[in-house]
Structure 1
Amino acid sequence: MFGSLEFFLEFGDGAVAVNPNDERYKHLVGKKVLLPLVDRMIPIIADELVDPEFGTGAVKVTAAHDPNDFEMGMRHGVELVIIMNEHGVMAGTGTKFDGMDRFDARKAVVDELRKLGRVVAEKRPYVHAVGHCQRCDTTVEPRLSKQWFVKVAPLAKAAGDAVRDGRVKIEPEQMSPRYFEWVDNMHDWCISRQLWWGHRIPVFYGPNGEVVVCGPDEKPPAGYVQDPDVLDTWFSSALWPFSTLGWPEKSPDLKKFYPTSVLVTGYDILFFWVARMMIMGLFAMDGKQPFDVIVLHGLVRDQFGKKMSKSRGNTIDPIEFMDKYGSDALRFTLARGANPGTDQALAEDWVAGSRNFATKLWNATRFAMLNGANVSGDLPATDQLNAIDNWILTRLDQTIAEADELFEKFEFAKACELIYHFAWDDLCDWYLELSKSTFSAAGGEADKSKRVLGQVLDQLLRLMHPVMPFITEQMWCTLTQGESLMIADWPKSDLSSQDFSSVKLVEQMQAIITEVRRFRNDQGIKSTAKVVAKFTGLSKVGLDKYEAAIRHVVKCEAGAGNFTAKTQIGDVVIEFDLTGAVDLVAERARLTKDLQTAQKDRDTAKVKLENDGFMAKAPMEVVTEIRERLAQTSSDIERITALLEKLPK
């Protein structure tokens, strides 16, 4: 007794298989049983592939219509019986079912077996996995047919050895096991396809069964007919590294471009394309690999991490993003998410963010040029520049060096993130703001800073060109009057010229500015409002020369005043005249209300934590949350109390 889901395949059965360790059937192995409807005797065989726990533990072996059954059939010499043609129509069974469509035959065969009393039980519904065509969603029926194969064992070994011995490197390295899994277990490769489009197989058949293979300039004998099949797409693609370069001739192009240095592709075609190119290249080029490095990137998915597909309706049209946000914005977004070997999500908001970054760069370059930034003449020596200029040049060298290293390791996401923060944070948010007072003052110091700013933009735009080619080309050519950024030298770093003393001074400026901004925000002073302030202690930390720059950034004017509030960072004390800058009554009322709220939250948390009954029953995560709330409210009370004390009486 055995079960089946496709009873029309019964006509192709060549054996019944059981597990050799199944005590129920050991005595039957080697005997034969009658196959209903065709009255053919088939043997009972024993094979480890059979799961004795599944169903009755006895399975039909339809070797010509199932891949697993085929392997089993080859091991046991099972007869290969083909019972349908390539159109899915029953043929060759020698029964009344010949000529029926497979779906019609499915029902008709069950009805006939039922009439004969052969159906002893039915299970409905029954969920199982059946292969379907990805294009038309039609059930796929495996069918034995004559095909052309490549014997891959020696070729696959060569492809594996090329990576193992270091001739070819896979990036990221953790993808190497996946490559070896494919090439070390590769089956003979079926290269013929029954499709309309493709490279026609160059095999011709004579009238008496003769077979000849003809090269590009050869003609078959008269009366010979070419094989109608075409080559597998990946067979054709595998020829690319050398066939496009004049092979088999020793052409100049082949000598120059084979092997290529780097192949960049998605990990999803590591087996289909990369392994096949390795196989074909090593074979055709006498053991010379087609490329030195294989860089595997991930797939671009939707913003929720789902694979894009038309059926899901979550596909993204890059042209729409390019029209709306610009090609550079889309390119930078993709590069910024390109971690080696891992998938990346793509959302419109992120592309919009990259567009904003491009706008930031455009405005910064425009501001720089309006203020006289240039690349004329040599860069002033380090000892002739102020700390702010030396700091940005040091940060530029560090960024170029680190970005170079990341690009070499194909860490495009990290490189883009590094460049982004240098451009947005260091250059735009800090250097330009700190230098505005120098530009306003004009004179020799301003001229040197203008040359430094031109140098920084020149090198930054070169560094960004691979990931934002169009806008950087426009800005660079306008700034430098050069012919094209595409033929400009790649930026070089000089880490030996780093000025760490200037870096320390600017870090102190940043700390002071950050503290003043925090103080202003805590006091409720508008970011655009100017207040009178007195700085003391700048000379102690070497920043007396940069008081004007700091004041400009934090909008603090010099002058006499009623200094009723102050803040301090290290040796530097900043006192403020808040007259007119803050509505003291309203600010005191706001802070008092915030203090009362914080005290109430703190008291509530304390009551719960001091309640033994609550602590015994409450889950640990709840207790942890309350403890964190107690710590936070206590901190808030301390902060608000200090702010209230600083307010003028």
Structure 2
Amino acid sequence: MDKTYNPHELEQRWYSRWEQSGCFMPSGQGEPYCILLPPPNVTGTLHMGHAFQHTLMDALIRYQRMRGRDTLWQVGVDHAGIATEMVVTRQIEAEGGKRDDYARADFIDRVWQWKHESGSTITRQMRRLGASADWSRERFTMDPDLSEAVIETFVRLHEEGLIYRGPRLVNWDPVLQTAISDLEVVNSDEQGKIWSIRYPRSDGRGDVVVATTRPETLLGDVCVAVHPDDARYRDLVGQSLELPLTGRQIPVIADDYVDPEFGTGCVKITPGHDFNDWEVGARHGFAPINIFTPTATINDRAPARYRGLDRFEARERVIADLKTEGLLIEEKPHAMVVPRGDRSGQIVEPYLTNQWFVKMDQLGQLGLEMVESGQVEFVPGNWINTYRHWMENLQDWCISRQLWWGHRIPAWYDDDNNIYVGRSEDEVRVRHQLGDDIVLRQDADVLETWFSSALWAHSTLGWPDPERMAAEGFDRYLPTSVLITGFDIIFFWVARMIMMTGHFTGKVPFEQVYITGLIRDSHGQKMSKSKGNVLDPIDLIDGIELDQLVDKRTSSMMQPHLAKRIAKATREEYPDGIPAFGADALRFTFTALAGHGRDIKFDLARCAGYRNFLNKLWNAARFTLMNVGDATLPVPAEGELDTLSRWILSRLDRTITEVDEALSDYRFDLATRALYEFVWNEFCDWYLELSKPALQEQAAARDPATARATRHTLARVLETTLRLLHPFVPFITEEIWQRVRVPAGVEADSISQTRWPQAAAPDPQAESDAEWLKAVVSAIRSARTELNLAPGKPMPLLIEEGSPADLARLERFGDLIRSLARLAHIEPADDRHDPATCATALAGELRMLIPLAGLVDVTEELARLDKQLEREKKGLESVARKLGNERFVANAPADVVEKERVRRGEHENAIADLTERIERLRHVDASHTPS
């Protein structure tokens, strides 16, 4: 093995070998285990959330594959209608063209060209992370067979009366000129304004005052609402008001929707431009008035002087006219939540338009029953409450989008706008007996991406074609085992998959849903480009220089002051750039942080720490291989294993059990903690050290059986540990395993094809003996450190007190203790040794003495300890002054005061310890002073 661990070279080399070997494909043997990858956008790149969740999925797939399960990790991407159109449109504009220059078919051809050339970025990045997916089954939501499933779903739902077309309010992006889903709306906290407007009573008996943040929408008001129990307006209900600037009369109604404590208790109702108002209007039978065009300019439903104005120009004109007519009472700043399209960044309008909808009452009831019955389990369990709340308050699902790229809606219109739904135009003509003289035009809209993604579980397994279903393993892999995702798409994907798969197949799409936390920065802030705190997982794998990182974070910033702030913060946080940690260190960091029910503060220091951990594993492997050779080692005969070999094997068995239990509960953090502690503390720090004496040439000659057992145990423990670690850090484990598999006596071409370790019964006696030995050696080493002795300087050890068991173990392990603790000799204490002139080491009941005479330079050591004592006394005085200050104790935060109290205790303990050590040294000095 190379002296230095170099992840970059070995990671790329091993992944290509794995993929070419086909070891990621389902075996067809054993109990099936399937995970669906939530399909990322075809335009996307791997972000920290993806990398985190993909790591967890891959760890489970590798783990279950090694356990003999028939694993399928179904991966693929969705066509991302809006995002893809934007990418290709910008590409055309960069070439000097315009989208309007393209006919629909030509534009779609251009999108397919882009997809084939540039649409695989994220899947290439998944490979860099080590994703062991079956790439031969990679799917795209626009694949022909998946498209067939989409059309079949639409037609069947329409035939069942569960899909309809009609006018409703939708989230409308006036820049993209399409409806968008709630998930594509970013609610931004912004500083706006609120205006108080006078609405005169028609009978001339005064007016009412309403407040609004969107005064232009009053042009579409249909009424003013008050609460039925509001005594101030009880006589006003049923009366009419003059709608300012319009010449229209509108009534006053009573509705429980109104909060009488908010504002004046009077609310303008605009059903055509507010989702809540839509519900109020529907309850009272008001027809909505739409005053906007698709580009958010004022249409012909408004008074002539506002027509054609942009919505914000119209706002200024309305405000000016209200002032002129003396109807504007007040204008003041107002903090508000503004909905913006996540792609365009523009303010989204509730907009009345004809769209296609899925009725959700029947489907929602099915989706709720499947979870409530236990067919689908949420982990952690509290997320079922979030799911339940949403399912009990479902609205019909808008599935149409005003785009070209996507699954075109399978509906046709004749000249009288009659609608015909079918799998093709030919089917429509045959079913409805339409002759060739009838001209049909297909609906121009496409289905939203979430509609096709909702079919992912069963469409990727061949549905609805029976032959494909048999070939793809529909009955074998559905339901899939677990879905790993974030809470933010419980509504938009998880719930819809449950409803759609349940409705069309009678099965649930997955048996468990593991909800992860969100990846945040080291300060707990959500990562966003505008904050400049986004980390790119590929940068963490490969490293990135500071200047490149700054350019990457600021290149898309349109506001110079924001770019400057982000550049400054980046230079302060990463003065040396980001080092290359490698994929394994990043993966181990993700899994180590993956506890239940909490967001994750991602700190590069953790990455660095786990990179050190892997380097320690590498060096441990080099030590092992140098001592075991490259030939198959004979298995020790029964009874040949020494105590220390039995101990490390017992600890390994306990670690196997801990990892199995943790992964069964999706406690990736506990699994990695168990592995870290075993590898670092027990195998590397202790067993390798404990094994050295037995492997020395002279010792091996005296006791060849122990030497053979030790070499075999080294190889066996390392090989087994590599298999335990493989799901978390696949690259380094494969690299080392290829070298240790022969001496360990394991036959396989790749560690990914080996079996998961099985735990044997632990050996409590060996564990007890080894823990005693570790305690004795640690106590002696601590005493050596306190005495400031060089690590290699031999020193005597006297046994003053100990139980019969201690003395028996001393007899068995005395030679090993002398070697590990660098002792000159071990002998019982007697009257010749004054305990006052000795340092003490304690290990349970065993009391050990270290004679100081001749071991330390008393004068020099006293001077050192006196200085240390003086520092501790000064520290204690400083803390005592703070705690003696009543104002400090009364006003400082409780945790700050408690921290000072802890420091006081630490200083007091240190002073007592140093005083005792100084006194002991003075005894030594006095006992050697001539009388």
TM-score for the superposition, normalised by structure 2: 0.65
Alignment match, 2:783: 519
Alignment match, 1:489: 755
Q: Residue 571 of structure 1: CA displacement?
A: 5.4
Label 1:589 to 1:244 Cα distance change in 2 as closer, same or farther (>3 A).
Answer: same
Whichever residue aligns with residue 110 of structure 1, its letter is I
Q: Residue 378 of structure 1: CA displacement?
A: 6.6
Q: Give me the whole-angstrom Cα distance separating, in 2, the residues matched to 1:295 and 1:303.
A: 24
Q: Give me the whole-angstrom Cα distance separating, in 1, the residues matched to 2:630 and 2:373.
A: 51
Tell me, what secondary structure is at the counterpart of 1:371?
A: helix
Q: Residue 150 of structure 1: CA displacement?
A: 1.0
Q: Residue 212 of structure 1: CA displacement?
A: 1.6
Alignment match, 1:268: 488
Whichever residue aligns with residue 422 of structure 1, its letter is F
2:307 pairs with one of 88, 98, 102: 98
Whichever residue aligns with residue 408 of structure 1, its letter is S
For residues 104-159 of structure 1, the C-alpha deviation after alignment (integer angstroms, 9 at most, x for no partner) is 1111222233333333x122334433323333332222111111111111211211
**1:429 aligns to 2:682 (yes or no):** no
For residues 155-202 of structure 1, the C-alpha deviation after alignment (integer angstroms, 9 at most, x for no partner) is 112112112211111111122211111212211111112234332222
2:793 pairs with one of 530, 549, 571: 530
Structure 1, 92-101 or 288-297: larger mean CA deviation: 92-101
Label 1:483 to 1:138 Cα distance change in 2 as closer, same or farther (>3 A).
Answer: same
For residues 4-30 of structure 1, the C-alpha deviation after alignment (integer angstroms, 9 at most, x for no partner) is 333321221111111111122111212
Structure 1, 385-394 or 185-194: larger mean CA deviation: 185-194
Alignment match, 2:733: 472
**1:246 aligns to 2:473 (yes or no):** no
2:534 pairs with one of 307, 315, 334: 315
Label 1:174 to 1:541 Cα distance change in 2 as closer, same or farther (>3 A).
Answer: farther
Map 1:32-431 to 2 at 5 A: 32-96=240-304, 97-119=306-328, 121-215=329-423, 220-221=428-429, 223-250=439-466, 251-252=469-470, 253-285=473-505, 287-323=506-542, 324-372=580-628, 376=632, 379-380=635-636, 383-431=639-687
**Equivalent residues of 2:719, 2:741 under 8 A apart:** yes
**Number of positions where the alignment pairs a residue of Structure 1 with one of Structure 2:** 641
Structure 1, 499-508 or 531-540: larger mean CA deviation: 531-540
Label 1:277 to 1:607 Cα distance change in 2 as closer, same or farther (>3 A).
Answer: closer
Alignment match, 2:145: none
Label 1:634 to 1:18 Cα distance change in 2 as closer, same or farther (>3 A).
Answer: closer
Q: Give me the whole-angstrom Cα distance separating, in 2, the residues matched to 1:19 and 1:572.
A: 82
Q: Give me the whole-angstrom Cα distance separating, in 2, the residues matched to 1:187 and 1:534.
A: 80
Alignment match, 2:553: none
For residues 487-537 of structure 1, the C-alpha deviation after alignment (integer angstroms, 9 at most, x for no partner) is 100110012xx22111111111111112112111111113x3322323546
Q: Give me the whole-angstrom Cα distance separating, in 1, the residues matched to 2:880 and 2:519.
A: 50
Alignment match, 1:642: 916
Map 1:553-592 to 2 at 5 A: 553-558=820-825, 565-569=838-842, 570=844, 572-576=846-850, 582-592=856-866
For residues 564-591 of structure 1, the C-alpha deviation after alignment (integer angstroms, 9 at most, x for no partner) is 6342435545454657753321211122
**Equivalent residues of 1:531, 1:576 under 8 A apart:** no
Q: Give me the whole-angstrom Cα distance separating, in 2, the residues matched to 1:207 and 1:557.
A: 105
Label 1:284 to 1:535 Cα distance change in 2 as closer, same or farther (>3 A).
Answer: farther
Q: Give me the whole-angstrom Cα distance separating, in 1, the residues matched to 2:288 and 2:864.
A: 89
Q: Give me the whole-angstrom Cα distance separating, in 2, the residues matched to 1:412 and 1:623.
A: 36
Tell me, what secondary structure is at the counterpart of 1:501?
A: helix
Quick check: which one's strand share is greater?
A: 2
Whichever residue aligns with residue 594 of structure 1, its letter is Q
Whichever residue aligns with residue 751 of structure 2, its letter is L
Q: Residue 206 of structure 1: CA displacement?
A: 1.7
Tell me, what secondary structure is at the counterpart of 2:596?
A: coil
**Equivalent residues of 2:226, 2:233 under 8 A apart:** yes
Tell me, what secondary structure is at the counterpart of 1:207?
A: coil
Structure 1, 541-550 or 512-521: larger mean CA deviation: 541-550
Alignment match, 2:103: none
Give the unaligned 5+ runs of structure 1.
Answer: none
Q: Give me the whole-angstrom Cα distance separating, in 2, the residues matched to 1:25 and 1:603.
A: 71
Q: Residue 635 of structure 1: CA displacement?
A: 3.0
**Equivalent residues of 2:219, 2:302 under 8 A apart:** no
Q: Give me the whole-angstrom Cα distance separating, in 1, the residues matched to 2:652 and 2:533.
A: 40
Percent same amino acid at aligned positions? 39
Label 1:271 to 1:111 Cα distance change in 2 as closer, same or farther (>3 A).
Answer: same
**Equivalent residues of 2:783, 2:841 under 8 A apart:** no
Q: Give me the whole-angstrom Cα distance separating, in 1, the residues matched to 2:898 and 2:319.
A: 65
Q: Give me the whole-angstrom Cα distance separating, in 1, the residues matched to 2:444 and 2:530.
A: 33
For residues 240-293 of structure 1, the C-alpha deviation after alignment (integer angstroms, 9 at most, x for no partner) is 0011221113322212221111111122211111111001000010x2111111
Whichever residue aligns with residue 545 of structure 1, its letter is R
For residues 440-499 of structure 1, the C-alpha deviation after alignment (integer angstroms, 9 at most, x for no partner) is 12222111111111111111111110000000011111111441001100110012xx22
Q: Give me the whole-angstrom Cα distance separating, in 2, the residues matched to 1:431 and 1:130.
A: 61
Q: Flag the structure with more relative contact order, 1 or 2, with Cα contacts below 8 A and sequence separation at least 6.
A: 2
Label 1:101 to 1:243 Cα distance change in 2 as closer, same or farther (>3 A).
Answer: same
For residues 344-383 of structure 1, the C-alpha deviation after alignment (integer angstroms, 9 at most, x for no partner) is 1222221111111111111101100100167946743663
Q: Residue 550 of structure 1: CA displacement?
A: 2.3
Label 1:626 to 1:247 Cα distance change in 2 as closer, same or farther (>3 A).
Answer: closer
Alignment match, 1:447: 708
For residues 287-334 of structure 1, the C-alpha deviation after alignment (integer angstroms, 9 at most, x for no partner) is 211111111111211111111111111111111111111110111111
Q: Give me the whole-angstrom Cα distance separating, in 2, the residues matched to 1:40 and 1:584.
A: 103
Whichever residue aligns with residue 864 of structure 2, its letter is R
For residues 220-252 of structure 1, the C-alpha deviation after alignment (integer angstroms, 9 at most, x for no partner) is 546322222222222111110011221113322
**Equivalent residues of 2:291, 2:302 under 8 A apart:** no
For residues 29-55 of structure 1, the C-alpha deviation after alignment (integer angstroms, 9 at most, x for no partner) is 122223233322222110111122322
Structure 1, 147-156 or 108-117: larger mean CA deviation: 108-117
Whichever residue aligns with residue 463 of structure 2, its letter is W
TM-score for the superposition, normalised by structure 1: 0.92
Give the unaligned 5+ runs of structure 2.
Answer: 1-207, 430-435, 543-579, 743-747, 926-931
Q: Give me the whole-angstrom Cα distance separating, in 2, the residues matched to 1:545 and 1:317.
A: 55
1:5 pairs with one of 213, 216, 221: 213
**Equivalent residues of 2:640, 2:705 under 8 A apart:** no
Whichever residue aligns with residue 455 of structure 1, its letter is R
Map 1:562-641 to 2 at 5 A: 565-569=838-842, 570=844, 572-576=846-850, 582-596=856-870, 598=872, 619=890, 631-641=905-915
For residues 69-113 of structure 1, the C-alpha deviation after alignment (integer angstroms, 9 at most, x for no partner) is 001001101121111111001112252221111111111222233
**Equivalent residues of 2:636, 2:708 under 8 A apart:** no
**Equivalent residues of 1:434, 1:550 under 8 A apart:** no
Tell me, what secondary structure is at the counterpart of 1:149?
A: strand
**Equivalent residues of 2:839, 2:852 under 8 A apart:** no
Tell me, what secondary structure is at the counterpart of 1:328?
A: helix
Q: Residue 593 of structure 1: CA displacement?
A: 3.3
Structure 1, 3-12 or 317-326: larger mean CA deviation: 3-12
Label 1:375 to 1:176 Cα distance change in 2 as closer, same or farther (>3 A).
Answer: farther
**Equivalent residues of 1:522, 1:643 under 8 A apart:** no
Tell me, what secondary structure is at the counterpart of 1:179?
A: helix
